[in-house]
A and B are shown apart, each in its own frame.
Chain A
Amino acid sequence: MDVLNWDGTLSAKDFRIGAIAFAQKWETLNLGYPPWSWVPSPKHPPLTSPQEEGYLSLEKIRISRPKQEDVDQNIKTDTGEEETSCSEKEDDIDDATLVQSSHHELQYYDFHIVYSHTFRVPVLYLRAYRSDGRPLLLDEFEKDLPACSVKELSKSKWTFITQEEHPYLKRPWYKLHPCGTVEWMKLLILGDTSQPKFEVVLELYLLSWFSVVGQVIGIRIPVNVLSDCR
Chain B
Amino acid sequence: MAKEGSGSILQFAPFQSSVDEGFWHRLSSLKLNKFGIDDSPIPISGFFAPCSHSQVSNHLTLLAESLPSDSNEESSMPAIAQSNRNRCSVPGILYNTNTMESFHALDKQALLKAEAKKIWEDIHSGKAVEDCALLSRFLLISFADLKKWSFHYWFAFPALALDPPATLVDLRPASQWFTAQEAESISAACNEWRNSNVTADVPFFLVSIGFDSHAAIRHLKDWEACQGNSQKLLFAFYDPCHLPNNPGWPLRNFLALICARWNLKTVHFLCYRENRGFADLSLSLVGEALITVPQGWREHQCVPNAVGWELNKGRKMPRCINLAKSMDPTRLAISAADLNLKLMRWRALPSLNLDILFSVKCLLLGAGTLGCQVARMLMAWGFRKITLVDNGRVAMSNPLRQSLYTLDDCLNGGDFKATASVRSLQRIFPAVEAEGVVMAIPMPGHPVSSEEEKRVLEDCKRLNDLIDSHDVVFLLTDTRESRWLPSLLCANTNKITITAALGFDSFLVMRHGPGPFNSTTDLKTETTNSLSAAIDNLALTNKDGRQRLGCYFCNDVVAPTDSTSNRTLDQQCTVTRPGLAPIASALAVELLVGILHHPEGIFAEAEVANSNNSGSPELPLGILPHQIRGSLPHFQQMTLLGHSSNSCTACCHTVVSEYRKRGMQFILQAINHPTYLEDVTGLTELMKSASSFQLDWDDETEEADDECIEL
Contact = CB atoms under 8 A, between A and B. Distances in A.
Contacts of B148: 80
B10 interface: yes
A100 interface: yes
A85 B166 contact: no
B326 interface: yes
A216 to B, nearest CB: 15
B19 A133 contact: yes
B326 A172 contact: yes
Interface in B306-357: 307, 309, 312-323, 325-326, 332, 335-336, 339, 342-343, 346-347
B320 A83 contact: yes
A132 B315 contact: no
Given A86-B316, A129-B21, A157-B346, A97 B77 contact: no
B104 A86 contact: yes
A112 to B, nearest CB: 13
A162 B343 contact: yes
A97 B158 CA distance: 12
Contacts of A163: 335, 339
Contact of A98 (B12, B53, B312, B320): B12
Given A42-B77, A94-B307, A95-B165, A133 B321 contact: yes
B13 interface: yes
A81 B320 contact: yes
B20 A133 contact: yes
Interface in A51-74: 62, 74
A177 B317 CA distance: 41
Given A88-B109, A133-B61, A83 B78 contact: no
Nearest to B305: A94
Nearest to A93: B307
A193 interface: no
B535 to A, nearest CB: 52
A100 B276 CA distance: 26
B10 A96 contact: yes
Contact-residue size bin, chain B (C-beta under 8 Å from the other chain): 35 or more
A181 to B, nearest CB: 14
Interface string A139-173: 00000000000000000010010111000010110
Contacts of A95: 9, 11, 165
Contact of A100 (B13, B309, B332): B13
A117 interface: no
A172 B336 CA distance: 10
B21 A171 contact: yes
Contact of B322 (A80, A157, A162): A80
B339 A162 contact: yes
Contacts of B23: 133
A88 B21 contact: no
A43 B72 CA distance: 12
Contacts of B335: 163, 172
Interface residue SS majority, chain B: mixed
Contacts of B56: 62, 106, 131
Interface residues of A, number: 49
A133 B109 contact: no
A96 B317 contact: no
A164 B343 CA distance: 13
Interface in B573-622: none
Nearest to A79: B320
Interface in B3-52: 9-14, 16-23, 25
Contact of A96 (B166, B243, B343): B166
B73 interface: yes
A76 interface: no
A64 to B, nearest CB: 10
Given A43-B76, A160-B346, A172-B332, A132 B18 contact: yes
Contacts of B346: 157, 160
B347 A157 contact: yes
A135 B18 CA distance: 11
Interface in B254-304: 276-277
Given A80-B320, A131-B16, A133-B21, A96 B165 contact: yes
Nearest to B17: A132
A90 interface: yes
Interface string B356-393: 00000000000000000000000000000000000000
A84 interface: yes
A170 to B, nearest CB: 8
Contacts of B650: none
Contact of B317 (A35, A74, A85, A169): A85
A150 B339 CA distance: 18
Given A81-B320, A84-B317, A40 B61 contact: no
Nearest to A99: B314
Contacts of B320: 79-81, 83
Given A86-B104, A94-B307, A96-B12, 4 more contacts: A34-B276, A83-B317, A98-B12, A127-B21
